[in-house]
Amino acid sequence: MSHKLFSPSAADKWFKCAAYPKMNLNVPFSSSLPAATGTLIHSITETILKDRFDNLAPEQYWLGRTETIDEFEIEIDQDMLDCAKIYVDYIKERKEELDATLLIEEKVFVDEISSECGGTADAILIGKDRIQIIDLKTGKWPVDVKRNKQLMIYGLGALAKYGDEDTTIELSICQPRRSKRTPVTSYEIPAVNLVDWGFTDLKQAINACEEESPQFTYGDHCRFCNAKVNCDEYKLHNKGEQNV
């Protein structure tokens, strides 16, 4: 799948700054060690969930291995494996509780709103009258699940494929490296409410981004924007930084 202009993972940025998608369209991808580590942990979870190593314990295969991700050499330690296993155990537990079908790394789209909005959800559980979106976050900074834009877009895409107006969407963030004791936070929203959000807030945000000259908005989100070095609005608010 080619990268969509309105990526769910960047939704919090383009909701705040309408110029974000076009500004980042041709900017070279820039990774970091935490991001590369997250990619590796996701790869480990996918391997476990798909039973690619039969009954071999994750430690037996992964612990101490060095993998190269986005040019970073990362040695897999126990903390990374614990993060992966907590996420996997939660998915297996919920799958059994809901008697659900599990979809791993599932591509979802919201074509009814924009053909350029869609992405890949970490895990989706399809149960009776319930769809659960589960997203793994490997950082330690708390991520708020309530009305989380990334997960709500995934939820809309999953609802379009697998649900109806009576479906409840459960959005869950699993963040083991923040808290191993209480790693999962969840938020529920009825299908009708989610669709209303999609055709109001989401559609308005996308329309604003698609304007010929979208508005630039400075804020905390700028620190995570790869295009900030080319952004006059960012430079205007960071004159001292530019002169260092």
- The Cα-based distances of 239 to 14, 15, 220, 224 in angstroms read 23, 25, 16, 18
20-51 pLDDT, tens digit per residue, is: 999 998 888 778 999 999 999 999 999 999 88
Task: Spell out the domain ranges in the chain.
Answer: 21-237
User: Are 91 and 122 contacting, i.e. CB atoms less than 8 angstroms apart?
Assistant: no
21-237: CATH topology is Lambda Exonuclease; Chain A (3.90.320)
Question: Can you give the length of the chain in residues?
Answer: 244
Whole-model pTM: value is 0.93
pLDDT tens digit string along 187-232? 999 999 999 999 999 999 999 999 999 999 999 999 889 899 889 9
Contact of 160 with 110, CB cutoff 8 Å = yes
